[in-house]
Amino acid sequence: MATEGTSRSSSWPRGDTRKKPTAFLLHTLLFMCVAFRVAAALIRVSYHLAAGSVLGVARVLFAAANDRCMRCMNQAALGRSATGTFCGDLLVGAMANSWRVLMQGLASLMFLCARADEYVRPPPSPLVLTPHDKPAAHPQQVHISTVGRNKMRISWVTDDRDAPSVVEYGESQGNYTASATGDHATYKYFLYESGAIHHATIGPLAPSTTYHYRCGKAGDEFTLRTPPASLPVELVVIGDLGQTGWTASTLSHIGGADYDMLLLPGDLSYADARQPLWDSFGRLVQPLASARPWMVTEGNHEAEALPGAVGFAPFLAYNARWRMPREESGSPSNLYYSFDVAGGAAHVVMLGSYAEFEQGSEQYAWLERDLAGVDRRATPWLLVLLHAPWYNTNQAHQGEGEAMRAAMERLLYEARVDVVFSGHVHAYERFTRVYDNEADGRGPTYITIGDGGNREGLALKFLKDHESAHLSVFREASFGHGRLRIVDETSAVWTWHRNDDEYATVRDEVWLESLASPNLSMPTARRHDQEF
């Protein structure tokens, strides 16, 4: 969490005229910085006004000001000024805190004036900013993803744009017996220019094997473990992660128990056009993302599109930083792809809620081809992840996944998809097996898990009289993460772990039977306390 600087008197000593010009300059610079942030926010405000969302405008303005203030207070705590060149930490911290209090009051007033029956998020949570103080050639933001059956893509960033895109690796610590050379690129977003974003693919690798590796022939050594070639396999699922104290708690709970791969159905950094937050997010997740494959798909917060702005393609930062195995799965876009797990015992499809999905679209045609290529006799488990949920009894984001459901649900049903995971709604909810708004033992189990720890807070209100309420087995608005342990060809166990202080408490557990099983029966829930 961001912390305030050491408390001292902010008054100027009598007779000390040397500090006054510096103070005036700091005031001016800080005002200019805030003004710039507000101007940038106004561009986003115009988009929300066009959509008719007054609350969206309030959230954008608050987020811009709050982000700037928390950044200033972080710098104050580190003994730096807002510009990084003057020792004005005290003044900056005091001004930033005053601004934040003012904005929180205005935001609260806006929330109180909103209609009582409209969903209103709580004020945003302060960010956890992860600094980088290593040399320019030192690799940072390291994360890995699976490529094919026996390869891994290593991705990292260096401030030195001429650093080599090389990964050295081996099975013994410090003893690198192989290497791979990849590529790197940069991107620009207004005044921001990224560091060199490197990608290199290593392999072939043995399954269930620990490898030690180093990126760019510099910096730290990292350790990864490859997924198993057969069942059992354990998958962690989290959505809407962000980078707050809640996020840190979720990541700590995930790291407290072993797993083979992490799946994330959208909304990663919550940078929302503030590009340095992509860098901070990469550093925050590096301890876990450098050790196990992270497979992600996009959410609405990855779009970062500016209406009317030329040269800023949607998903620019996301596509540059989080390269997924689209080529290997025959996908024309990094926004949707698929891959196999456990030697093909499970097939995972990552769909794009914010790419064209109607019949006749590229994504629809690709999904048809991909599902048609799955032999359920060899692949007993079929999983799908997407961002905006197709079934949702929470007041937040009602109906936002309906168009995609209407277009694609039949494809998933006919392919006998076992589980569909989604995010977007900042809460946890599990449905029974469903097809076309009715309970159906041959349909997927739908699970919403958008409770990773984002700054916007939880979606607290579930609708008791919602038309899908009778299909909802368990729901709770708490931060946490889920684990799917596929035990064998017929059985898997799903557990949802709520963040309870230092403990990750199992609140929901259900055994699932593969829809490829000839002895299919409805799943039975071991724990399904319903909470509203």
The DSSP 8-state label assigned to residue 465 in this structure reads T
Tell me whether residue 397 is one of the annotated catalytic residues: yes
Look at residues 350, 361, 424 and name the one whose alpha carbon lies nearest to residue 387: 424
The amino acid that residue 433 corresponds to is R
The DSSP 8-state label assigned to residue 84 in this structure reads S
Cβ neighbours of residue 8 closer than 8 Å, sequence gap 6 or more: 90
Helix (H, G, I), strand (E, B) or coil at 15: coil
Query: How many other CB atoms are there within 10 angstroms of residue 170's CB atom?
Result: 15
Q: Can you tell me the distance from the alpha carbon of 88 to that of 69, in angstroms, rounded to the nearest whole number?
A: 14
Cβ neighbours of residue 390 closer than 8 Å, sequence gap 6 or more: 401, 402, 404, 405, 409, 420, 422, 446
Alpha-helical runs (H) found in 184-315: 245-255, 276-289
> What is the SS3 string spanning 22-57?
HHHHHHHHHHHHHHHHHHHHHHHHHHHHHHCCHHHH
Which element (helix H / strand E) includes 399?
none
Q: For residues 428 and 446, is the Cβ–Cβ distance under 8 A?
A: no
How many Cα atoms are found within 13 Å in the side-chain-facing hemisphere of 343? 11
The DSSP 8-state label assigned to residue 100 in this structure reads H
Q: For residues 336 and 366, is the Cβ–Cβ distance under 8 A?
A: yes
Q: For residues 512 and 483, is the Cβ–Cβ distance under 8 A?
A: no
Q: For residues 167 and 213, is the Cβ–Cβ distance under 8 A?
A: yes
Q: Which of 301, 397, 424, 481 is catalytic?
A: 397
Q: For residues 144 and 167, is the Cβ–Cβ distance under 8 A?
A: no
Q: What are the DSSP calls for 161-215, one per residue?
A: TTS--EEEEESBTTB--EEEE-EEE--EETTEE--EEEEEEE----TT-EEEEEE
Q: For residues 421 and 383, is the Cβ–Cβ distance under 8 A?
A: yes
Straight-line distance from the first to the last Cα atom of the chain, in angstroms, rounded to the nearest whole number: 29
Cβ neighbours of residue 475 closer than 8 Å, sequence gap 6 or more: 393, 394, 427, 428, 429, 430, 462, 530, 531, 532
Q: For residues 523 and 433, is the Cβ–Cβ distance under 8 A?
A: yes
Which positions are annotated as active-site residues?
A: 397
